[in-house]
Every structure is written in C-alpha cells, then in structure tokens.
Amino acid sequence: MRKILFTGGGSAGHVTVNLALIPRFLAEGWQVDYIGSQDGIERRLIEAVPDVRYFAISTGKLRRYMDWQNVKDPFKVVKGIAQAYRIIRERKPDVVFSKGGFVSVPVVLGARLNRVPVVIHESDMTPGLANRIAIPFAAVVCTTFPETAGQLGSGKARYVGAVVREDLKLGRAERGRAFCRLSAGKPVLLVMGGSLGSRSINEAVRSALPQLTRRFHIVHVCGRGQTVRELESPSYRQYEYVDRELPDVLAMADLVLSRAGSNAIFEFLSLRKPMLLVPLTKEQSRGDQILNARSFQASGYCEVLEETGLNGRTLEQSLARLYDNRRDYISRMTSGERRDALTDVFGLIRREAFQASSAERRF
C-alpha cells in the first residue's frame, strides 16, 4: 500500500488544497495520514474526512514582531519536530505533502530527518515565513502564480496554477437558498472574511445594512463569535463558518466580498464569481494579499477596496459598481487561462513517492 502524509494548518487556506487532494489518494487506495496542531481549524476539518488518521503535535507561531511568546515557542517547535519525527518513522509514508502554516515546519523537518521526500504547495505570490523555512528541505515546490516560480530561482519550483476542490463545482443554488432561508427576487451577496473572520469587513457591512439589503440578500460568514443575532432579517443571514454547505452557498451567490487569500479568490475565479476584495494591509500581514488582489485586478477579475478606505459608504458604492458591471467580470473570468492544477499536483506527488520507494531509505 502506498502511503502519504499531509500537513498544513492555522487557517482554512492552509487546509483546502489538502482537502482537494485527499479524495484522489483515497480513491487509489493509499493510506492517508495528517499531522496538524492540537486546536487548529485543520483538526476539525480533517477529522470529518473518513479514512484519514489525524495526529496532533506541538507547534509555535513564527512571529515577525516582539512578543513574550517568542521565548516559549521555539521549545514548542523543537517538541513538534521530535513528535513529527516519531510519527513519520512509525507511519512510514512514501511522501509528505505540505500546504504550509506554522504546524508544517516541524513536519517538514521531521520528514527530512527520516529521508522522506516533501512536496510543498505555495498559494501566494510570495512564500510565507513557514514555507520559506521549509522550501530548502523540499524536493518539489508547486506554485499558484508563475511569478513565484521565477522568484524561487530553483529547479525544484513548478508552476501548476490554483488547486480547487472539485466538490465546489457541484453546488446547487436552490439548495443554497433553502439552507440560508432566502426568497427569490434579489441577487445574493456573499461576505467572507476568511476562516477567522474580519472585524473591519464585518463592521463596514453592518454599517451599510439598510442600504445594502434594499438591493441584495446578504449571506455573511462572520467568523467565530462575531455574529450579531439582533441584526438577522429575511435579507441578512449570518454564520460563524460554512463548511459542508459552502458549494451550495457559492452556487447561489451573485457577488462575493472577501479578503484576498489566494486559495479563496482562485475558488471564486473558477466559479466565475465577480468579487470585491479587501486585502489585509501590510501592517496586518506580509503584504501577500495586496499582491494577490493587484494581480486579479490587473487581469480584470475583481474590484479592490483598500482597508484604509473601507467604510459603509465606500463599500456600498464599490458593490453597486461591481454588480452593474458583473457581466464584464464574468466574461473575463470565463476567457482566462485554465489549468488542471489538481491533476498536475497529484501527478507530481505520486512521482516523488514512486521514486522514493524505488530508492533505498532507512527509517
């Protein structure tokens, strides 16, 4: 039996590509394991997948700023490396696939110590800190943007495009309307601030609710603990997180308001959903979402509203402009480049696994 071990976590964006790939390996009869954190969102998402064994390890956050936790976290990372090393030695995978996030660093290092090949996927135009640490230990680095492969300047980089979950394309708008209890008659605006939510987007949407609900039904994915139940109405539905029903919710959406995480915006692109993107600022991140949003804007796939200019009025104006020009956005998204990234990444992982199993390796 072929064996693969996945890792990645901290946010849904570090899990979605794994969720797209896992069914293909299960269908081929592979043993599939997953290493994640004790309490991260990846645990809830992966433990819901049948026939995948989940292993939790210690992990620390790799911060770019001063924090007392920076003193403790290196010890957590060292502990995580030891745990990952033992799990990999016991489970004997042919290959490790890493989607990134802080939990992936100990796993990649544990794989290297066991001489197991690692394939990494980088969604953003510029690699995150965890992937920058892990890339030197990888056999192959798959990139979503062609510019990323050029930046890496390494023979191990492979431009594959965006990996999109196949189940997202199976959504039905009528099921989405039934789930959200929405009547017909108005277009649907889907608001998603990422798996952890976005306070600034939430506040801007709610400040413009009277104006927005005159034109749209709004489905607002707010993030944990950020719903305000007294605002519920027949045209405004709130959810902390949407998982199983997401394909149906996306199918019924006419517009999407979102952050600019790479996995999410490529999913919207694959479904031809006109989008208004509010990228995280450089103060909140390393600036990757700004680059993602600018790339999509240059291709004519989205409108961009910088967070510094985000308020109820600018949000209402930007959404009105996006909706009025929606057919132009859909046309450009339809005519854009199409790659079967899921099949390409699947093939690259299999190749590394087969090459490794044919070579001598000691556990």
- Under a CB-based contact definition with an 8 Å cutoff, are residues 117 and 98 in contact? no
Q: If you average pLDDT over residues 163-174, what whole number do you get?
A: 93
Share of the chain above pLDDT 70, in %: 93
Share of the chain above pLDDT 90, in %: 72
Q: If you average pLDDT over residues 109-124, what whole number do you get?
A: 96
Check whether 230 has a pLDDT greater than 60.
yes
Q: Within this chain, do residues 185 and 140 fall inside the same structural domain, yes or no?
A: no
Q: Please, which residues have CB within 8 angstroms of residue 148's CB and are 6 or more apart in sequence?
A: 122, 124, 125, 126, 127, 157, 159
Q: Within this chain, do residues 285 and 326 fall inside the same structural domain, yes or no?
A: yes
Q: Within this chain, do residues 222 and 81 fall inside the same structural domain, yes or no?
A: no
pTM of the model: 0.84
Q: If you average pLDDT over residues 99-125, what whole number do you get?
A: 95
Q: Within this chain, do residues 28 and 155 fall inside the same structural domain, yes or no?
A: yes
Check whether 60 has a pLDDT greater than 90.
no
Which pLDDT band holds residue 147 (cuts at 50, 70, 90)?
A: confident
Whether 51 is covered by a domain: the verdict is yes
Q: If you average pLDDT over residues 132-151, what whole number do you get?
A: 90
Whether 128 is covered by a domain: the verdict is yes
Q: Within this chain, do residues 303 and 345 fall inside the same structural domain, yes or no?
A: no
Which pLDDT score, from 0 to 100, does residue 362 have? 46
Q: Within this chain, do residues 297 and 150 fall inside the same structural domain, yes or no?
A: no
Check whether 274 has a pLDDT greater than 50.
yes
Q: Within this chain, do residues 246 and 347 fall inside the same structural domain, yes or no?
A: no
Structure tokens at 164: 């999109």
Q: Which residue has the higher pLDDT, 125 or 49?
A: 49
Which pLDDT score, from 0 to 100, does residue 36 have? 96
Q: Within this chain, do residues 289 and 254 fall inside the same structural domain, yes or no?
A: yes
Q: Within this chain, do residues 155 and 178 fall inside the same structural domain, yes or no?
A: no
Which pLDDT band holds residue 63 (cuts at 50, 70, 90)?
A: low
Check whether 173 has a pLDDT greater than 70.
yes
Which pLDDT band holds residue 11 (cuts at 50, 70, 90)?
A: confident
Number of domains making up the chain:
2
Whether 305 is covered by a domain: the verdict is yes
Widest distance between CA atoms in the chain: 66
Whether 351 is covered by a domain: the verdict is yes
Q: If you average pLDDT over residues 4-18, what whole number do you get?
A: 92
Q: If you average pLDDT over residues 309-328, what whole number do you get?
A: 96
Alpha helices in the chain (DSSP H): 16-27, 41-47, 69-91, 104-113, 129-134, 146-152, 173-180, 199-207, 209-215, 246-252, 262-270, 288-298, 312-324, 326-335, 341-358
Whether 234 is covered by a domain: the verdict is yes
Q: Within this chain, do residues 108 and 226 fall inside the same structural domain, yes or no?
A: no
Kindly report, residue by residue over 27-55, the tens digit of the pLDDT: 999 999 999 999 999 999 999 999 999 99
Which pLDDT score, from 0 to 100, does residue 195 have? 58
Q: Within this chain, do residues 9 and 117 fall inside the same structural domain, yes or no?
A: yes
Q: If you average pLDDT over residues 143-148, what whole number do you get?
A: 88
Q: If you average pLDDT over residues 225-235, what whole number do you get?
A: 93
Whether 212 is covered by a domain: the verdict is yes
Which pLDDT score, from 0 to 100, does residue 70 have? 60
CATH code of the domain covering residue 181? 3.40.50.2000
Which pLDDT band holds residue 153 (cuts at 50, 70, 90)?
A: low
Whether 363 is covered by a domain: the verdict is no
Which pLDDT score, from 0 to 100, does residue 326 have? 97
Whether 140 is covered by a domain: the verdict is yes
Separation CA 176–CA 35 (nearest Å): 32
Q: 51 lies in which domain range?
A: 3-161+340-358
- Average pLDDT of the chain, as a whole number: 91
Quote the Cα angle for 63-69-70, to 5°: 50
Q: If you average pLDDT over residues 65-87, what whole number do you get?
A: 80
Check whether 207 has a pLDDT greater than 50.
yes
DSSP readout, 168-221? GGG--HHHHHHHHT--SSS-EEEEE--TT--HHHHHHHHHTHHHHHHH-EEEEE
Q: Hey, is 8 helix, strand or coil?
A: coil
Which pLDDT band holds residue 359 (cuts at 50, 70, 90)?
A: low
Q: Within this chain, do residues 259 and 287 fall inside the same structural domain, yes or no?
A: yes
